[in-house]
Amino acid sequence: MTITYKDAEGIEGMRHACRLASEVLDYLTPFVKQGTTTKEIDRLANEYMVKVQGTRSATLGYQPPGYPPYPASLCTSLNHVVCHGIPNDKPLKKGDIMNIDVTVITDDGWYGDNSRMYIIGEGSIAAKRLCAITYDAMWHGIVQVKPGARLGDIGHAIQKFAEASGYSVVREFCGHGIGKKFHEEPQVLHYGRPGTMEELQPGMTFTIEPMINAGRRDIKELGDGWTIVTRDHSLSAQWEHTVLVTETGYEVLTLSAGSPPPPAFVNA
Ligand code: MF3
Ligand code: CO
Ligand code: CO
């Protein structure tokens, strides 16, 4: 295990990168509407990162072992796409739900990673509920974060809430440590048992990013080598924050003016 514990300077670097990652999503929000293509959203995001922020995309050209280089500056995962959807030329339609996942790298090398769900026009009741429950599931995980808690506490809280809501948790992808690398240890599973896995300590930074399916949890990969879809074609949703373990609890780092507020159960 090589978890990196961030010192004061690292925490400042992560706060900055994560705020900028969240601000990319803020910037994109007004463009996410009927008729816009995901390629156009990708182009706008790249331009904003490079020309306005002075950051760059961590996903453009990203190539983990066994994968082709990822071809875009963000991921756009629509409807039954679970994650890693590649932007294309199809216009968004009323009733679509879409996750946009943005990871930036600052000029001093820190990574900030976050994603949100967007509903195009008036979504169906089922689509709105899936997006809302998935958001709350992420936060049920976040509120577990404090020194002495374990990663299994986070996974368990997410799984319990999602399954009690009638949904399933994708197992093949997880949250991850993040810092001067995109994906560091530890893996942050979105299912599990309380009191198991790595103990949380101040200075750890990692993502919590549950993928929740309306139907069965099974997935498959498409022939492009990246796109992951639900095997039963049921809808899938995901939200992602990067968090810091503080001396007393957690700090959500990927926050900005346009972030949705935490659910009522947080700090209630
Ligand atoms: N941002 C994603 C995550 O949350 C990873 C995307 S990798 C890509 O970990 F290459 F698909 F963009
Ligand atoms: Co991530
Ligand atoms: Co991400």
pLDDT tens, position by position, 162-187:
999 999 999 999 999 999 999 999 99
- Return the pLDDT at 186: 98
Provide the whole-model pTM: 0.98
d(Cα 222, Cα 25) in Å, to the nearest integer?
26
Asked if 83 and 228 count as a contact pair (C-beta separation under 8 A), the reply is yes
For CA atoms 252, 198, 193, 148, give the dihedral sign: negative
Nearest-angstrom CA–CA distance, 199 and 41: 39
Nearest listed ligand to the Cα of residue 114 = 3
pLDDT of residue 99: 99
User: What is the DSSP annotation of 124-170?
Assistant: -HHHHHHHHHHHHHHHHHHTT-STT-BHHHHHHHHHHHHHHTT-EE-
Q: Of ligand 1's atoms, which has the minimum distance to the CA of residue 240?
A: 4
Domain ranges across the chain: 8-267
Question: Mutation test of ligand 1: which of 18, 74, 101 has the most ligand atoms closer than 8 Å to its C-beta?
Answer: 101
- To the question of domain 8-267 being in CATH 3.90.226.10, the answer is no
Ligand 1 atom nearest to CA at 67: 10
Between CA 231 and CA 241 the distance in angstroms is: 26
% helix, strand, coil for the chain, step of 5: 25, 25, 50
Residue nearest to atom 11 of ligand 1 (CA): 84
Q: Best of 59, 77, 82 to mutate for ligand 1, by most ligand atoms within 8 A of CB?
A: 59
In tens digits, what is the pLDDT along the chain, a chain of 268 residues?
Answer: 699 999 999 999 999 999 999 999 999 999 999 999 999 999 999 999 999 999 999 999 999 999 999 999 999 999 999 999 999 999 999 999 999 999 999 999 999 999 999 999 999 999 999 999 999 999 999 999 999 999 999 999 999 999 999 999 999 999 999 999 999 999 999 999 999 999 999 999 999 999 999 999 999 999 999 999 999 999 999 999 999 999 999 999 999 999 999 999 998 7
| 99 Cα–ligand 2 center, Å | 13
What residue ranges line ligand 1, CB within 6 angstroms?
59, 62, 70, 75, 84, 101, 103, 113, 207, 209, 226, 240
Residue with tokens 């509920």: 129
